[in-house]
């Protein structure tokens, strides 16, 4: 079902059982919308008897520079093929606030931050890392697929102690033509160097998600959701 609201991002919400104790907030990639990852619920082997609320928000529509100004759903603008050049800091910050608001809403609905997982693919994975590492209260985990750390110059001063031990799952395709695996590896190494518990997986694929990756996420979720 969609959540019509003027205060929060519109989203698709699905629950595995009544009275959810955990929330997985899953962020889509550039040009997609919240529907993109809804099918993954049926593909994941979720922990037995886990009561999970999945939230798939729709990013705002905006003009994307690298796509000739076409309007599409995006968490921030992309201005150059080199993703680390001319980063849209204003857009990233705006989406950060909108995603944090969804986390806070879950707190009001009875799910503590420590039971919330931020997940995302591509742009969504970028935002999951950006928001999760800066969130002032501990989260259950972060899943970043085909993604990287944005605004690296702000990483050290802005990260929050509350999430230095938060489990992080990073998966990436070795043949990714959109987000080069070297960029993701640099992000992974920075995180590990800073003491974050990163579980890194590399797959023979492009800019996508594969069955093996979904299986690995399932195992990881079984360790994180208790």
Decide: 204 and 173 in contact? Cβ < 8 Å. Answer: yes
Catalytic, out of 33, 36, 88, 176: 176
122 is catalytic: yes
Buried/exposed 123-147: b ≥16 CB within 10 Å, e otherwise:
bbbbbbbbbbbbbeebbbbbbbbbb
207 is catalytic: yes
216 is catalytic: no
How many Cβ atoms from other residues are within 10 Å of residue 108's Cβ? 7
Decide: 73 and 32 in contact? Cβ < 8 Å. Answer: yes
The sign one gets for the Cα dihedral 165, 171, 175, 180 is negative
Q: What does DSSP assign to residue 48?
A: T
Catalytic, out of 58, 88, 113, 122: 122
Give the alpha-carbon dihedral of 133, 80, 28, 127, to 10 degrees: 10
C-alpha 26/C-alpha 102 separation (Å) is 11
C-alpha 79/C-alpha 225 separation (Å) is 37
Catalytic, out of 201, 207, 208, 216: 207
Extract the tokens encoding 51: 């009561």
Catalytic residues: 122, 176, 207
């Amino acid at each position: 079902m969609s959540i019509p609201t003027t205060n929060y991002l519109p989203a698709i919400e699905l629950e595995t059982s009544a009275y959810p104790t955990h929330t997985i907030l899953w962020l889509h990639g550039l040009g997609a919308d919240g529907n993109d990852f809804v099918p993954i619920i049926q593909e994941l082997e979720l922990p037995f008897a886990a009561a999970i609320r999945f939230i798939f928000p729709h990013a705002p529509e905006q003009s994307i520079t690298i796509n000739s100004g076409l309007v599409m759903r995006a968490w921030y603008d992309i201005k150059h093929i080199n993703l680390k050049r001319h980063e849209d800091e204003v857009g990233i910050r705006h989406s950060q606030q909108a995603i944090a608001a969804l986390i806070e809403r879950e707190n009001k609905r009875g799910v503590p931050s420590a039971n919330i997982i931020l997940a995302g693919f591509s742009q969504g994975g970028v935002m999951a890392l950006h928001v999760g590492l800066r969130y002032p209260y501990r989260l259950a985990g972060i899943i970043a697929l085909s993604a990287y750390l944005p605004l690296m110059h702000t990483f050290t001063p802005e990260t929050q102690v509350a999430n230095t031990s938060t489990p992080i799952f990073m998966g990436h395709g070795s043949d990714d033509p959109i987000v080069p695996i070297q960029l993701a590896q640099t992000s992974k190494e920075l995180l590990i160097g800073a003491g974050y518990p990163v579980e890194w997986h590399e797959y023979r694929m492009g800019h996508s998600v594969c069955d093996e990756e979904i299986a690995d996420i399932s195992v990881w979720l079984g360790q994180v959701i208790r």
